[in-house]
Amino acid sequence: MKKKLMPIGLVLAGALAGCATPHNPAPVTLKVAFKNDFLIGAALNPSQFCELNHAEAALVKQQFNSISPENILKWEKIHPAPGRYDFTLADRYVNFGVENKMFIVGHNLVWHEQTPKWVFQDETGNPVSREVLLARMREHIFAVVGRYRGKIGGWDVVNEALNEDGTLRTSPWRKMIGDDYLLQAYQFAHEADPAAELYYNDYSLENPAKRAGALALIRKLQAQGVKISGVGLQGHYNLDFPTLEQFDATITAFARLGVKVMITELDVDVLPRATRDVAADVSKNVQRSENLNPYSSGLPDALQRQLAERYADLFAVLVRHRNDIGRVTFWGVTDGDSWLNNWPVNGRTSYPLLFDRAGRPKPAFDSVITTAGR
Ligand code: GLA
């Protein structure tokens, strides 16, 4: 039997009305509410894990039991030049997770974005051979995964290998190594830390064509004997994508492969769509205009309610699948941190998360809490 949980809004309302007694339950937090369901994570920026922003660091400790690094483990940050690694921030990130007994995620090892050009070129700027690129990939994976062996519990080994139609993306990795670059990456990561969980992570896997491609990819890797522990649905959603049916069917389909399903970068965008497609391709860049940024002075109540309902609907599906879901990670802590303030349009005011710009729980927070353990 699950304990009945009281949303933080009600607890606060009770306290303000002067009816708080020592018997009132402590405000419910996300990690406590979902402790029998799945881990609850957030992607952090340096001001949070270095505790420069005290309030947000405290909020992270209070609410989350897993962390992901927003940027600091990406190749361009941690390995900016040949033979030069900068582990300063990554060490701080990992220490924050260890000190607070959190499940620490590594994001990511092999991606076509935020990877410096030199990785793919020789000294004269020409493409390197398959052998050279494989050797660079191996060195990078061994250096980074090896350093945090036993501390980082799971790695997004390959990020975004697929096109929207489910075919393999012709990234520099694929072009220069061949289709087996994925196999190689997972094998290197497994050798570097045999105990770490290894994930495949991508966006819009709820679209049937892309989902079919990802299912085929994971089946192939499994048939090749690769350790693949989970699939990350990035979860860059909006009010109508994905449909709840698509969401449900996607979780079911991946779970059938025997891999854990994780939502790794959850946010729900309420701003007008700047492009017709829903793909969370980080290279998109659309010119800002008034009508694309309608809520710069606050989110209307009706939309706030819609966001809360949308989150409750999504979490109801997740909780129903709690045996298949390992973790749900939000891409940011407060609305002010979100990449959606600058993507795909720079300088908008976005409201995609559960905490407002002051770190206060939004109605969406309460609606999510009420779905726990149902
Ligand atoms: C993708 C990547 C993340 C991050 C987000 C946007 O989903 O996987 O690392 O860059 O885009 O911030």
Residue 173 resides in a domain: yes
Residues written for the chain: 374
Name the catalytic one among 56, 70, 160, 197.
Answer: 160
The best mutation among 158, 234, 330 to test binding of ligand 1, ranked by most ligand atoms within 8 Å of the C-beta, falls on: 234
Residue 4 resides in a domain: no
Sheet strands (E) in 218-362:
230-233, 236-238, 260-269, 325-330
Q: Residue 25: its pLDDT value, please?
A: 64
The best mutation among 282, 285, 345 to test binding of ligand 1, ranked by most ligand atoms within 8 Å of the C-beta, falls on: 282
Output the CA 281–ligand 1 centroid distance in Å.
Answer: 8
CA distance 364 to 352: 10
Instruction: Encode pLDDT of 121-138 as tens digits.
Output: 999 999 999 999 999 999
DSSP state for residue 143 in the 8-state scheme: H
Residue in the structure block whose two tokens are 């606060």 = 12
Give the pair of three-digit tokens for residue 158. Answer: 């390959």
Give the pair of three-digit tokens for residue 29. Answer: 């937090």
* Residue 280 backbone dihedrals phi, psi, to 5 degrees: -90, 55
Q: Residue 103: its pLDDT value, please?
A: 99
Q: Residue 289: its pLDDT value, please?
A: 83
Quick check: CB of 45 below 6 Å from ligand 1? Answer: no
Q: Residue 24: its pLDDT value, please?
A: 61
Give the pair of three-digit tokens for residue 265. Answer: 């970068």
Which residue has the least CA distance to atom 11 on ligand 1? 282
Domain, as residue range, for 264: 9-271+293-362+367-371
Residue 264 resides in a domain: yes
Residue in the structure block whose two tokens are 């002075």 = 297
Output the CA 17–ligand 1 centroid distance in Å.
Answer: 42
Residue 207 resides in a domain: yes
Quick check: CB of 234 below 6 Å from ligand 1? Answer: yes
Q: Residue 287: its pLDDT value, please?
A: 86
Nearest partner of 172 among 227, 229, 124, 133, judged by Cα: 133
Q: Residue 178: its pLDDT value, please?
A: 98
Sheet strands (E) in 143-235:
152-159, 197-202, 230-233
Q: Residue 279: its pLDDT value, please?
A: 84
- We report the CATH number of the domain holding residue 191 as 3.20.20.80
CA distance 371 to 312: 6
Quick check: CB of 282 below 6 Å from ligand 1? Answer: yes
Sheet strands (E) in 258-311:
260-269
- Measured torsion, CA atoms of residues 333, 335, 337, 340, in degrees rounded to the nearest 10: 120
Output the CA 274–ligand 1 centroid distance in Å.
Answer: 18
- The answer to whether 160 is a known catalytic residue is yes
State which ligand 1 atom lies nearest to the alpha carbon of 203: 7
State which ligand 1 atom lies nearest to the alpha carbon of 201: 8
Residue in the structure block whose two tokens are 């709690």 = 322
Residue 265 resides in a domain: yes
Give the pair of three-digit tokens for residue 204. Answer: 């819009």
Quick check: CB of 366 below 6 Å from ligand 1? Answer: no
Name the catalytic one among 70, 197, 206, 265.
Answer: 265
Give the pair of three-digit tokens for residue 325. Answer: 């879901």
CA distance 221 to 158: 12
Quick check: CB of 159 below 6 Å from ligand 1? Answer: yes
Task: Give the CB-side neighbour count of residue 333, counting CA atoms within 13 A.
Answer: 25
Residue 263 resides in a domain: yes
Q: Residue 26: its pLDDT value, please?
A: 67
Residue 38 resides in a domain: yes
Which residue has the least CA distance to atom 1 on ligand 1? 282
Residue in the structure block whose two tokens are 């600058």 = 342
Give the pair of three-digit tokens for residue 91. Answer: 């060490």
Domain count, the chain: 1
Quick check: CB of 264 below 6 Å from ligand 1? Answer: no
CB 219 within 8 A of CB 257: yes
- Measured torsion, CA atoms of residues 280, 282, 288, 294, in degrees rounded to the nearest 10: 40
Cβ neighbours of 274 (radius 10 Å): 18
Q: Residue 373: its pLDDT value, please?
A: 78
Task: Give the CB-side neighbour count of residue 205, counting CA atoms within 13 A.
Answer: 32
Using CB atoms within 10 A of its CB, is residue 291 exposed (0-12), middle (13-18) or buried (19+)?
Answer: exposed
* Mean pLDDT, rounded, of the chain: 93
Residue 354 resides in a domain: yes
CA distance 63 to 355: 11
The best mutation among 331, 340, 341, 346 to test binding of ligand 1, ranked by most ligand atoms within 8 Å of the C-beta, falls on: 331
Which residue has the least CA distance to atom 8 on ligand 1? 159
Mean pLDDT in runs of 10 for the chain (374 residues)? 46 44 72 97 98 98 98 98 98 98 98 98 97 98 98 98 98 98 98 98 98 98 96 98 98 98 98 86 86 95 98 98 98 98 96 98 98 80
- The answer to whether 197 is a known catalytic residue is no
CB 190 within 8 A of CB 224: no
Cβ neighbours of 231 (radius 10 Å): 27
Q: Residue 320: its pLDDT value, please?
A: 97
Nearest partner of 150 among 189, 194, 110, judged by Cα: 194
Question: Percent of the chain beyond pLDDT 70?
Answer: 93
